[in-house]
């Protein structure tokens, strides 16, 4: 099956008419896929990395208190005029193509320092076997500074194809100034280590195993890469809500993860079954603005950034709630850490104990350890959230000694209560409060909500459970609940977070729905009214 990485559908474009940038793509397929054209493409051979040496360097750096290095970047200068092949088509259009081969690379990517193309022009990137295709990218994808940087692609070969129509207003300019080669198997294209992915250990349950309890929070956790200083790094983080409930795309992570450069965010990078070993890499966004951060010496090692690129509504992103009180998280086995250990697909770990670091000389941190069968953390988990029993974020991962071989080792999560004001720091760039409580409401907790429907739910009202029966069903179901609205929108998402059905419905204490168009499988039903959002997991079995 082809993995056509088309990140947005045309129906969603109207939502972003004033801010279409970064990874938003527009579907279709490259000119060379559907027209008669030579398939001989010049290949640039990029020197292979010394992977053993790089891994040895990584192994010499112990602990989780630094971002995980996964690739190496090299400076380049490839343009439409000094490299590649140009084909002149009968209708006057032109097609430029160039292939890069990076021996033994686990993934490849590139940055465009100049991205200036006319309306009607199209850029695609794809693997030679056409299994992975991203695009089309158009003039609307140019960043404010005139650059563009598409997502990483699996494997060691990548083809760049640029189509320019005959009636173009001007000749396009593309400059590839940086090439990235992966040496860590971020996308599982080579041998899979561990039982369930590319983490070092095999004790990490797939997050989907706990979807019935933690679905919303799972939808908030993000894996992101940073290209900076000659390397590619990765960490984990969580999208978070703010009291203005204005849909700001804030990501909470760890200060020690921060590397200035180009950032790429991967949503829903997770398995769809408990035994799954891979996840979708199609749901991405790029671009960020740093809002606040401080290190682990003077604070809880926190970082807050705002994603500047568009996020496709189909990603079903959840903005997690938070608790900035100093209360020690109780009932630790009802808490959770959700993360990407080793850059692996999303995992969920259940704490065995959570302690106040005040008693151990770590006053700015929560101390958590794990049971052997419920996971741990690894490098790459850095910046990931710790949720309390109320499913609210209370901290982000800083460092620790836990592993699958040593689950009893303690991990340090920076306290949200500490980073909230950072000891009443006068700078808004060194605390969370100005960003997560911009109107100074004094809130100590905030519930999470979906980015698609942010601001719709009235948090002062009790959200009653949603009952769907029969469950499993053949598609014809009866829904009941205590609804305060006469009308709502019913969205159905598959287990990758993709929206597969949406319709306007009339609400009553009990009503019928025809979901017969759905194929057999597990889904999430979301009913969005003006005052509340209701969720239920449903199974279609035909």
Distance CA 97, CA 80 (A): 9
Nearest partner of 368 among 323, 320, 404, 414, judged by Cα: 414
- Share above pLDDT 70 across residues of the chain, in percent, rounded to a whole number: 89
Two tokens, residue 28: 């279709």
CATH architecture classification, 456-540: Sandwich (2.60)
Q: Is the pLDDT of residue 347 over 70?
A: yes
User: How many alpha carbons fall within 13 Å on the CB side of residue 536?
Assistant: 20
Average pLDDT over residues 185-195: 54
**Residue indicated by tokens 């991967």:** 266
C-beta of residue 383 within 8 angstroms of C-beta of residue 237: yes
Strand partners for 43: 99
Residue 2, CA distances (Å) to 5, 129, 130, 134, 280 in order: 9, 9, 7, 11, 13
Which residues are within 8 A (CB) of 469 and not within 5 positions of it... i.e. 6 or more apart?
477, 478, 480
Per-residue burial over 328-346, b if 16 or more Cβ lie within 10 Å, else e, is ebeebeebbbbbbbbbbbb
Average pLDDT over residues 52-70: 84
C-beta of residue 30 within 8 angstroms of C-beta of residue 309: no
Higher pLDDT, 527 or 410: 410
Average pLDDT over residues 239-265: 95
Q: Is the pLDDT of residue 63 over 90?
A: no
Q: How confident is the model at residue 460 (pLDDT cuts 50, 70, 90)?
A: low
pLDDT of residue 359: 81
Two tokens, residue 425: 């720091």
Residue 408, classified by CB atoms within 10 Å of its CB into exposed (0-12), middle (13-18) or buried (19+), is middle
C-beta of residue 318 within 8 angstroms of C-beta of residue 299: no
382 assigned to active site: yes
pLDDT digits (tens, 9 = 90+) for 370-394: 988 889 999 899 999 999 999 999 9
228 assigned to active site: no
Q: Is the pLDDT of residue 466 over 90?
A: no
Residue tagged active-site, from 185, 211, 301, 411: 301
301 assigned to active site: yes
Distance CA 265, CA 155 (A): 19
Does domain 195-455 sit in CATH 3.10.129.10?
no
Q: Is the pLDDT of residue 14 over 60?
A: no
C-beta of residue 324 within 8 angstroms of C-beta of residue 396: no
Residue 441, classified by CB atoms within 10 Å of its CB into exposed (0-12), middle (13-18) or buried (19+), is exposed
Q: How confident is the model at residue 194 (pLDDT cuts 50, 70, 90)?
A: very low
Two tokens, residue 235: 């960490």
Distance CA 399, CA 64 (A): 5
Average pLDDT over residues 203-207: 92
**Separation of CA 467 from chain center:** 30
Higher pLDDT, 461 or 102: 102
For the chain, domain boundaries:
3-182, 195-455, 456-540
Average pLDDT over residues 132-156: 89
pLDDT digits (tens, 9 = 90+) for 428-443: 999 999 999 999 999 9
Residue tagged active-site, from 278, 382, 402, 403: 382
Strand partners for 537: 524
Computed over every residue of the chain, the mean pLDDT equals 87
Residue tagged active-site, from 215, 256, 339, 340: 256
Where is average pLDDT lowest: 310-319, 345-354, 432-441? 310-319
pLDDT of residue 418: 96
Higher pLDDT, 456 or 214: 214
Q: How confident is the model at residue 534 (pLDDT cuts 50, 70, 90)?
A: confident
Report the 3 state secondary structure along 430-485: HCCHHHHCCCCCCCCEECCEEHHHCCCCCCCCCCCCCEEECCCECCEEEEECCCCC
Most confident of 11-15, 423-427, 525-529: 423-427
């Amino acid at each position: 099956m082809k993995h056509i990485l088309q990140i947005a559908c045309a129906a969603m474009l109207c939502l972003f008419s004033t801010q279409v940038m970064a990874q938003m793509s527009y579907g279709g397929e490259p000119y060379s896929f559907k027209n008669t054209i030579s398939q001989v493409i010049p290949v640039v051979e990029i020197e292979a990395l010394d992977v053993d040496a790089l891994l040895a360097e990584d192994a010499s750096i112990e602990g989780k208190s630094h971002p995980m290095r996964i690739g190496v970047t090299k400076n380049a200068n490839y343009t439409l005029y000094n490299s590649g092949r140009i084909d002149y088509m009968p209708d006057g259009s032109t097609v430029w193509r160039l292939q890069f081969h990076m021996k033994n690379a686990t993934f490849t990517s590139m940055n465009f320092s100049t991205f200036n193309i006319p309306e009607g022009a199209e850029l695609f990137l794809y693997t030679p076997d056409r299994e992975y295709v991203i695009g089309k990218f158009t003039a609307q994808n140019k960043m404010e500074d005139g650059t563009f940087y598409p997502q990483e692609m699996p494997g060691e070969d990548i083809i760049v194809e640029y189509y320019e129509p005959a009636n173009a207003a001007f000749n396009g300019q593309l400059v590839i100034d940086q090439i990235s080669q992966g040496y860590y198997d971020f996308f599982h294209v080579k041998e899979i280590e561990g039982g369930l992915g590319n983490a070092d250990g095999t004790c990490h349950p797939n997050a989907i195993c706990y979807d019935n309890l933690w679905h919303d929070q799972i939808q908030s956790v993000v894996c992101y890469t940073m290209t900076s200083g000659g390397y590619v790094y990765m960490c984990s983080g969580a999208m978070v809500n703010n009291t203005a409930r204005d849909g700001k795309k804030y990501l909470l992570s760890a200060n020690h993860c921060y590397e200035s450069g180009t950032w790429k965010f991967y949503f829903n990078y997770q398995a769809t079954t408990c035994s799954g070993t891979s996840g979708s890499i199609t749901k991405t966004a790029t671009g960020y603005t740093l809002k606040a951060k401080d290190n682990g010496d003077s604070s809880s090692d926190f970082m807050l950034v705002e994603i500047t690129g568009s996020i496709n509504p189909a990603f079903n992103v959840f903005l997690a709630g938070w608790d900035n009180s100093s209360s020690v998280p109780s009932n630790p086995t009802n808490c959770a850490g959700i993360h990407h250990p080793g850059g692996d697909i999303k995992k969920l770990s259940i704490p065995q104990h959570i302690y106040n670091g005040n008693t151990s000389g770590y006053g700015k941190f929560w101390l958590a350890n794990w049971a052997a069968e419920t996971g741990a953390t690894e490098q790459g988990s850095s910046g990931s959230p710790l949720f309390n029993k109320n499913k609210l974020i209370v901290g982000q991962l800083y460092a620790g000694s836990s592993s699958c071989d040593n689950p009893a080792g303690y991990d340090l999560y920076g306290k949200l209560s500490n980073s909230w004001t950072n000891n009443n720091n006068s700078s808004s760039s060194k605390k969370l409060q100005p960003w997560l409580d911009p109107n100074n409401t004094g809130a100590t907790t905030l519930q999470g909500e979906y980015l698609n429907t942010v601001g719709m739910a009235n948090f002062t009202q009790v959200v009653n459970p949603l009952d769907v029966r029969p469950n499993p069903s053949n598609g014809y179901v009866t829904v009941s609940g205590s609804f305060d609205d006469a009308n709502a929108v019913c969205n159905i998402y598959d287990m990758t977070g993709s929206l597969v059905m949406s319709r306007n419905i009339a609400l009553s204490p009990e009503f019928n729905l025809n979901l017969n168009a759905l194929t057999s499988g597990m889904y999430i039903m979301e009913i969005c009214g003006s005052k509340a959002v209701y969720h239920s997991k449903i199974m279609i079995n035909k």
